[in-house]
Structure 1
Amino acid sequence: MLKQTITTVGLMLFCSSQAFAHAGVEHEVEVKAQKLTDGLYVLFGQGGNIGLSVGEDGVYMIDDQYGRLSDKIKATISEVTEQPVSYIINTHWHGDHIGGNENFAKSGTVIVAHDNVRQRMSTGLEMSSLGRKVEPAPEGALPVITFDSELSLHLNGDEMRVYHVANAHTDGDAIIYFANDNVLHMGDTYFNIGYPFIDVSSGGTVDGYIAAVEKGLSLADDETQIIPGHGPMSNKKELSEFVAMLKDLRNAVAALKDKGMSLEDVLAAKPSAKYDEENGKNFIKPDQIVTFIYQTL
């Protein structure tokens, strides 16, 4: 079995198969696994954190990072098990979480996601907040099993509940709870690296984001191991602190907007100032999180 490895994830890369922050350094990427319980792991690499369940019923994953990392991901999995990956559940449609879909599907893996994930992947999108256009995904990368609100998988001695959380990070987010192992995968409804990305172009909203985190908290207890979309492993206390910060920001921006202040005036007022030192130095900067909140109130 693979030795338990503790690792952290740096600056996230986003929303296309091209790495916009670390172009040209793919050779430096390592895909490492951390054992959470017997048969359940988290894989860290470049992009969204991967959940991995291994057992008598087979192997299934949550997300698959970038396509160029598929061989490295498969190599890391092979250190845990010789079995192929039977299912992948996508937490949402961004390229750093679904970029490996086509590569795994060619090997027989079945891709599962919310209805809106298939729709977004099929049509592509102009992502104004990042100044980029995402082209439609190839047919072979699309989820072939989709769901509306909730899905359950009874595999490897666990009951895995997949919940759609509406208009949060996007309009197709899913959070996944392993009931018996008490492990919660939040996808990108939890950034454990600072301010979150609320993808307004994809239907994301601050209120939906807060509701998604509160859904995760309702599933968790003090012993729950929480896999964030980006960053190191977390727990209920840290997730509670994260949503408290987001609520405070939301209310501060709302109070200024209710006074009739323009976005430019709100940005000048710096409502996020007390959180910026700790949370505003990674992917999403202070002006961006304030803009996302202002736009979606």
Structure 2
Amino acid sequence: MYVLRHSYLPLALLLAASAAAQPNFEEQIAVTEVTSQQLGEGLHVLFGVGGAIAASIGDQGVLIVDDQFPGMVPKIRAKVRELGGGDIDFAINTHFHFDHADGNLVLGPEGTWLVSQENSREKLTGDNVINLVNQTIDQPAYPDDALPSITFERHMRFHFNGEPIDLLHFGPAHTEGDAAVVFRGHNAVHMGDVFNNAGYPFIDADNGGSLAGIIAFCQGVLEEIDANTVVVPGHGAIADSAALEDYVSMLSTIHDRIAALITSGASLEQVVAARPTAEWDEERGDPASFLNRSYTSMTR
């Protein structure tokens, strides 16, 4: 569906857009300003078009988690400077999807060190198709200078701006290459799209994602944090560990209901008709894509 490299909406909005009535992607990027929320001294969350960005700003420089779109990078850079930072030294991709990683196309050539889980880098080296159910998005391979040059398998640690920053991977979840980023000194974690606080999660079942994997990944993160941890989702409002626990409980219940239906021989249409998400639909929205991708991931 997409042709121009920069013509994107954040994934949460793409899920809500019909193929027959797509908004003007460039226009949204052009009119959206970056806002910020402070989590602590030197740590902020930036909101624009695409995934939420965590920004560590201090004496050693600037490290961000996710970088949205090329058209948003000048606005991100301006907000970082407003908050007391300079050039962006490191940009971590929580996964390979365009609304979190396309800023690489600007930052990489400018000299920012790009970081990701190994599987995400591998995905970025080739052409990808993201199936949103109501439409598909073709994400072209990134050029060499926009690829992460630092990768990890399960765990790596930065010592930056006075705190340890842990990058953790607990197996395929939203995609096959997700990373959670834990700011130990601030007791905060960026979850990427493994935790969607703006609706049901999108499961990229064609690129390694699964409902069971999202649950397991979140459980792994919960073992690394505590009751006072600030939890930054890929999309939606900043939350806490209790909200993440509720999210896991919801997804686990839905998973068990779908699994029981599949065991009984139910088709996707029958699973949708059984409404296994009913009590959360008012808060989370239309479950159609979520159920489709969950069912797909559970029947492969």
**Contact residue 48 and residue 187 of structure 1 kept, 8 A:** yes
Most deviating of 168-177 and 286-295: 286-295
**1:188-228, Cα deviation, whole Å (9 max, x unpaired):** 11001110001011100111100111122112222111111
1:169 alignment partner in structure 2: 174
Aligned-pair distance for 1:13?
A: 4.3
Q: Using the alignment, how far apart are the partners of 1:277 and 1:22 within structure 2?
A: 28
Counting aligned pairs with the same residue, the percent is 37
The one-letter code sitting in structure 1 at the alignment partner of 2:80 is I
Q: Using the alignment, how far apart are the partners of 1:220 and 1:154 within structure 2?
A: 18
Aligned-pair distance for 1:178?
A: 1.0
2:124 alignment partner in structure 1: 121
Aligned pairs for 1:88-127 within 5 A: 88-127=91-130
1:245 alignment partner in structure 2: 250
Secondary structure, aligned partner of 1:159? strand
- Could you say what the CA RMSD is over the residues aligned between the two structures, in angstroms? 1.7
Q: Using the alignment, how far apart are the partners of 2:29 and 2:128 within structure 1?
A: 25
The one-letter code sitting in structure 1 at the alignment partner of 2:170 is V
The one-letter code sitting in structure 1 at the alignment partner of 2:54 is G
**Contact residue 58 and residue 85 of structure 2 kept, 8 A:** no
Q: Using the alignment, how far apart are the partners of 2:146 and 2:11 within structure 1?
A: 25
Among 183, 190, 196, the alignment partner of 1:191 is 196
The one-letter code sitting in structure 2 at the alignment partner of 1:209 is I
1:5 alignment partner in structure 2: none
Aligned-pair distance for 1:12?
A: 2.9
Among 141, 164, 167, the alignment partner of 1:136 is 141
The size of the alignment, in residue pairs, is: 280
Aligned pairs for 1:26-41 within 5 A: 26-41=29-44
Q: Using the alignment, how far apart are the partners of 1:52 and 1:124 within structure 2?
A: 29
Aligned-pair distance for 1:25?
A: 2.6
The one-letter code sitting in structure 1 at the alignment partner of 2:256 is N
1:290 alignment partner in structure 2: 291
The TM-score normalised by the length of structure 2 is: 0.89
The one-letter code sitting in structure 2 at the alignment partner of 1:107 is E
**Contact residue 14 and residue 95 of structure 1 kept, 8 A:** no
2:262 alignment partner in structure 1: 257
**Contact residue 109 and residue 146 of structure 2 kept, 8 A:** no
Aligned: 1:79 with 2:89: no
Q: Using the alignment, how far apart are the partners of 1:86 and 1:11 within structure 2?
A: 26
2:209 alignment partner in structure 1: 204
2:157 alignment partner in structure 1: 152
The one-letter code sitting in structure 1 at the alignment partner of 2:12 is M
